């Protein structure tokens, strides 16, 4: 996503200063590897920061230097912030005048959201189950204007129901945001999760395929 956005931005701007906030070292390495193949060269000046949003913003406040940006994206990452409301307001505070904030989260009408709501025990202190409706409500409360765009998306989860299919094991974990569901839970609980995943709240059947509803929403605020 980030690489694609840079490619698009470079069509419009000759050079970009890009601050990358990412707490996971291996994700930074993966991203750096991907960038090598893109050949952006000196057109993009990267500022790598291996830290969370909360760590970054606290640091900025401590030295009383809130850096302003023309464009900020938080794509499927707001699940991990300590406080959604204050984070959204702080992100807007980091926008230059006329700057744009892009936030993406699962739609409040998606199978993803219904699955998470059905199994709230998968959330923890580091990961909160939020949806695009939560973001919109916060913006409405603060009378901040925005544009919301829903993107339809389906994930073929047929492999989750094939015995011994390793992709299915990983996909089940990914959709539920857990590690080793099958190894760490009782068989009856795993069956309950798998049954709910393929049920009509989350999935439609299309011939032999089971298509999980992964609709997401982009919410765009212009300062």
Ligand X SMILES: C[S@@+](CC[C@H](N)C(=O)[O-])C[C@H]1O[C@@H](n2cnc3c(N)ncnc32)[C@H](O)[C@@H]1O
Q: Among 3, 24, 34, 170, which residue interacts with ligand X (rule: CB under 6 A)?
A: 24
Interface residues for ligand X in 81-140 (CB under 6 A)? 81
Stretch that binds ligand X, among 15-23, 94-102, 191-199, 210-218 (CB under 6 A): 15-23
132 within 8 A of 217, measured Cβ to Cβ? yes
Question: Nearest approach, Cβ of 30 to ligand X (angstroms)?
Answer: 9
Q: Among 15, 17, 27, 162, which residue interacts with ligand X (rule: CB under 6 A)?
A: 27
Pick left, alpha or beta for residue 152 (phi over 0 → left; psi -120 to 50 → alpha; otherwise beta). beta
Burial class (CB in 10 A: 0-12, 13-18, 19+), 44: middle
Q: Among 46, 80, 122, 189, which residue interacts with ligand X (rule: CB under 6 A)?
A: 80
Question: Nearest approach, Cβ of 21 to ligand X (angstroms)?
Answer: 5
Burial class (CB in 10 A: 0-12, 13-18, 19+), 23: middle
CA distances to 164, 167, 191, 192 from 185, rounded to whole Å, are: 17, 19, 10, 11
Between 21 and 202, CB nearer to ligand X: 21
Torsion over CA: 111, 113, 114, 118 (sign) = positive
Torsion over CA: 222, 91, 83, 130 (sign) = positive
- Report if residue 144 touches ligand X, rule: CB under 6 A: no
Question: Nearest approach, Cβ of 90 to ligand X (angstroms)?
Answer: 12
Question: Nearest approach, Cβ of 9 to ligand X (angstroms)?
Answer: 16
> What is the C-alpha radius of gyration for the chain, rounded to an integer number of angstroms?
19
Interface residues for ligand X in 39-78 (CB under 6 A)? 52-54, 75-77
Question: Nearest approach, Cβ of 188 to ligand X (angstroms)?
Answer: 29
Between 103 and 210, CB nearer to ligand X: 103
Which residues contact ligand X (rule: CB under 6 A)? Answer: 1, 21-24, 27, 52-54, 75-77, 80-81
């Amino acid at each position: 996503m980030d690489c694609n956005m840079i490619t698009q931005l470079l069509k419009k701007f000759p050079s970009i200063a890009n601050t990358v906030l990412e707490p996971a070292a291996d994700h930074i390495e993966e991203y750096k590897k991907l960038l090598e193949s893109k050949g952006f060269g000196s057109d993009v000046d990267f500022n790598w920061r291996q830290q969370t949003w909360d760590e970054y913003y606290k640091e900025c406040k401590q030295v009383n230097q809130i850096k302003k940006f023309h464009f900020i994206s938080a794509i499927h990452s707001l699940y991990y912030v300590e406080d959604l409301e204050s984070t959204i307001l702080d992100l807007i505070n980091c926008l230059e005048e006329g700057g744009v904030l892009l936030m993406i989260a699962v739609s409040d009408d998606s199978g993803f959201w219904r699955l998470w709501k059905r199994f709230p025990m998968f959330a923890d202190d580091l990961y909160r189950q939020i949806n695009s409706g939560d973001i919109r409500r916060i913006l409405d409360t603060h009378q901040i204007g925005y544009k919301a765009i829903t993107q339809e998306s389906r994930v073929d989860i047929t492999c989750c129901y094939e015995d011994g299919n390793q992709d299915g094991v990983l996909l089940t974990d990914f959709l539920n945001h857990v590690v080793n569901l099958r190894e760490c839970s009782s068989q009856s609980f795993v069956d309950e999760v798998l049954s709910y995943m393929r049920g009509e709240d989350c999935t439609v059947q299309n011939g032999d395929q089971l298509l999980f509803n992964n609709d997401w929403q982009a919410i765009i605020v212009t300062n």
